[in-house]
Structures are given as structure tokens and as C-alpha cells.
């Protein structure tokens, strides 16, 4: 079978190659899935660069955490799935509920083999049914970005509800999912971007307000203006230390920040004074559990939510897909069609 593999100790895209591997078989308690599509995440770039947790991969590793496909075989004892089911793998292995321990729970595409192969075997507990309203390409967008956004908005702290205001930083996969989940909950939304074109697209998806942070370097002040000085109830924070101080200044009374990413780089300051002044909180978000995945899927199906896919590449264009994703020209998700 074909697979996209990162060679051991690699630190650049030169270490990524399309290879032929043996097709696996489902053993007891296992499910064999024909992967149909995979989506890319920011972490994939860090893994390829050898800058993810623990440095370069120690062995040849199939890339990507997010895949969706069709069940083609089940092993003895499997009860949750049958041949023909449309499924997606969980980001972490062995986390049915609660909080994952990234040092103990293997994550696909790094400490566990990834999903970018024509076939992959999963333990039964590490799979979910994808929402009935989604195709395989859309289903492949859910495991990392979707669950991360859901965790930040609906699981961490007080769930976002009707009348709240949610601030989404940027227009990548997590932020666009955050926009969709916030709107499904009846909240108002503010999206930031350096592109007026992307802000217009976000508005077409239901964003109530937008802030171009190039035009407004002190974008936290613009957010306060847009909320009549009240601040927001929730920030989906994908920037990290480079933006966290500004995000804290955006919070209203009893607000929360879902601390997710490091897109703004490693440098910045972090003054928590406004947390004290507003009685707010920061929640560390590292994807989520299978229970969160299943709760999210129920909302996606009930509200007919469809992930925003920017572009779909074929399997033999996988390196082009990675380079395009790296350019940050996309909005939402970039998908590779596997089979």
C-alpha cells in the first residue's frame, strides 16, 4: 500500500517520501480502515521540521493525525463497528474521556503511526463514526482541528451559549471550526486576520465582526470597541505567547481563553493582570478525548455543519499539499485524497 512517510531523524520536507508498505490486517479488537482522505494540521509542519515534542522522529513514521475512511475488516471481539462504516481515528490513542497525557498517550503521526496511508489498523476504541452529513474529505478535517475547537468552546470551563461573544484568532482550521461551533451555540463572533479577503469570507460564513490586525496593531483595543467595552466571553487562542497578552485584554467578566497554539512564534510577554481584574481563566487545550469527538459529531450532524475545505490534493501531490499549507495561503483546511 502507498503511504507518506517521514524518515527517521529528518528535519525538513526532503525527508518526506511516498513509499510502499505492507497492507496491515485486523487482529482481535482491531478495525482495518481503508483511508479515503487526510487533512493537514500545523503540528505536521513541526514534526517534519523536527521541532515537535522530543525533536525529530526516532523511526520512519507515517505522517498526519487526521484521517477518515471506510471499515473493510474487523477483528474478533469488535462490537462498535462493522464493514462499510464511515469512520475517523482519534488524535490520541487510549483516551476515551478525560484529559490526554501527551507523554503517555500516543498521538497519530508522531508517537504513533499516522493516517496518511491507504490502509490503517485502529483499536476499536480509537475510532468514531463520522457525522452522516459529511463525506470522507470533510470527515478527515475533524480529529485534531475540530475536536480542539470544540474542547475550547464547549468543554473547557463554562460552555459558550446564546448571547456570548467569541473571539477567533485567524482563519485556520481550528478558528474556522470555532466560528461554526460558536454560531451553532447562538454566540456572536469576532474573527481576526491580516487579510480583508479572508475577513469577508468569514463574514459570509456567519462572522458578526472582523478585525484586520495589520490595520489595527492594537487589535485588543478594537475588540473592546466592537464589544462596547464589555470584552468577550471566550477567546480561541492559537497564537500562543506572541498574542496571549492581547487576548487576555479582550476578556470580559468571567471570560475564558482556550490556549491552543503557537502560531505567533515563541517570543512575547504574558501579563496576567486582566485575568484578576475580570475573574477570567485560561485553559490549556491539547485536542481532546473520544467522548468530546462524539459530542462534537452530534452537533455537526444536528446543525448540518460542514468543514471549510480550501483545497484538495491527490495522494501523489502530497508534497505540494504540504508546501501549499506551509504558505498559509489557505483558509480552513487542506485535504489530501488518499484512495
In tens, the pLDDT along 94-112 reads: 999 998 898 899 999 999 9
- For residue 253 the three cell numbers come to 467578566
What band does 272 get if pLDDT is binned at 50, 70 and 90?
Answer: confident
**Number of domains comprising the chain:** 2
Domain that holds residue 35: 2-144+288-337
113 and 237 part of one domain? no
* Average pLDDT of the residues in 276-285: 95
pLDDT at 6: 98
What band does 270 get if pLDDT is binned at 50, 70 and 90?
Answer: confident
Please determine, for residue 301, whether its predicted confidence score (pLDDT) is greater than 80. yes
The predicted model scores a pTM of 0.96
> Residue 54 falls within a domain, yes or no?
yes
pLDDT at 103: 87
Please determine, for residue 215, whether its predicted confidence score (pLDDT) is greater than 60. yes
CATH number of the domain bearing residue 58: 3.90.180.10
Q: Cα separation of 317 and 315, whole Å?
A: 5
pLDDT at 274: 85
134 and 27 part of one domain? yes
134 and 55 part of one domain? yes
Please determine, for residue 290, whether its predicted confidence score (pLDDT) is greater than 80. yes
> Residue 303 falls within a domain, yes or no?
yes
pLDDT at 83: 98
274 and 331 part of one domain? no
207 and 329 part of one domain? no
Mapped onto helix, strand or coil, the DSSP state of residue 333 is strand
> Residue 31 falls within a domain, yes or no?
yes
Please determine, for residue 58, whether its predicted confidence score (pLDDT) is greater than 70. yes
- For the chain, the average pLDDT equals 96
pLDDT at 240: 85
224 and 292 part of one domain? no
Q: Cα separation of 235 and 239, whole Å?
A: 11
pLDDT at 22: 98
What band does 265 get if pLDDT is binned at 50, 70 and 90?
Answer: low
Taking alpha carbons only, the member of 288, 294, 286 closest to residue 128 is 294
pLDDT at 288: 97
77 and 108 part of one domain? yes
What band does 241 get if pLDDT is binned at 50, 70 and 90?
Answer: confident
Domain boundary among 269, 284, 299: 284
Q: List alpha helices for 119-253, DSSP H.
A: 136-139, 147-150, 173-184, 196-204, 219-226, 244-249
What band does 267 get if pLDDT is binned at 50, 70 and 90?
Answer: low
* Average pLDDT of the residues in 62-74: 98
What percent of the residues of the chain are helix, what percent strand, and what percent coil, each to the nearest 5? 30, 30, 40
> Residue 151 falls within a domain, yes or no?
no
Residue located via cell numbers 489530501: 336
pLDDT at 21: 98
* Average pLDDT of the residues in 147-176: 97
DSSP states along 251-301: EEEEEEEEE---TT-S-----THHHHHHT-EEEE-----HHHHHHHHHHHH
165 and 129 part of one domain? no
> Residue 150 falls within a domain, yes or no?
no
Percent of the chain with pLDDT over 90: 92
Amino acid at each position: 500500500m502507498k503511504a507518506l512517510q517521514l524518515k527517521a531523524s529528518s528535519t525538513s520536507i526532503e525527508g518526506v517520501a511516498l513509499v510502499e508498505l505492507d497492507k496491515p490486517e485486523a487482529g482481535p479488537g482491531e478495525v482495518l480502515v481503508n483511508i479515503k482522505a487526510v487533512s493537514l494540521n500545523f503540528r505536521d509542519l513541526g514534526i517534519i521540521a523536527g521541532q515537535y515534542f522530543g525533536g525529530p522522529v526516532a523511526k520512519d513514521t507515517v505522517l498526519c493525525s487526521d484521517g477518515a475512511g471506510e471499515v473493510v475488516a474487523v477483528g474478533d471481539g469488535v462490537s462498535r463497528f462493522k464493514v462499510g462504516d464511515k469512520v475517523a481515528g482519534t488524535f490520541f490513542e487510549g483516551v476515551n474521556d478525560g484529559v490526554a497525557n501527551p507523554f503517555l498517550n500516543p498521538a497519530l503521526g508522531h508517537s504513533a503511526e499516522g493516517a496518511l496511508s491507504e490502509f490503517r489498523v485502529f483499536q476499536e476504541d480509537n475510532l468514531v463514526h463520522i457525522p452522516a452529513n459529511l463525506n470522507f474529505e470533510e470527515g478527515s478535517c475533524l480529529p485534531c482541528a475540530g475536536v480542539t475547537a470544540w474542547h475550547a468552546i464547549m468543554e473547557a470551563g463554562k460552555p459558550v451559549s446564546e448571547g456570548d461573544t467569541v473571539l477567533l484568532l485567524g482563519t485556520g482550521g481550528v478558528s474556522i471550526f470555532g466560528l461554526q461551533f460558536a454560531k451553532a451555540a447562538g454566540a456572536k463572533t469576532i474573527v481576526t486576520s491580516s487579510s480583508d479577503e479572508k475577513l469577508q469570507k468569514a463574514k459570509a460564513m456567519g462572522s458578526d465582526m472582523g478585525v484586520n490586525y495589520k490595520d489595527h496593531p492594537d487589535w485588543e483595543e478594537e475588540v473592546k470597541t466592537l464589544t462596547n467595552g464589555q470584552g468577550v466571553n471566550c477567546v480561541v487562542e492559537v497564537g500562543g505567547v506572541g498574542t496571549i497578552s492581547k487576548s487576555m485584554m479582550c476578556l470580559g467578566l468571567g471570560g475564558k481563553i482556550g490556549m491552543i497554539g503557537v502560531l505567533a512564534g515563541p517570543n512575547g510577554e504574558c501579563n496576567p493582570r486582566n485575568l484578576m481584574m475580570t475573574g477570567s481563566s485560561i485553559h490549556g487545550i491539547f485536542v481532546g478525548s473520544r467522548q468530546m469527538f462524539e459530542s462534537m459529531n452530534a452537533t455537526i450532524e444536528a446543525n448540518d455543519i460542514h468543514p471549510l475545505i480550501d483545497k484538495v490534493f491527490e495522494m501523489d501531490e502530497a508534497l505540494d499539499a504540504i508546501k501549499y499549507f506551509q504558505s498559509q495561503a489557505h483558509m480552513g483546511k487542506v485535504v489530501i485524497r488518499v484512495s
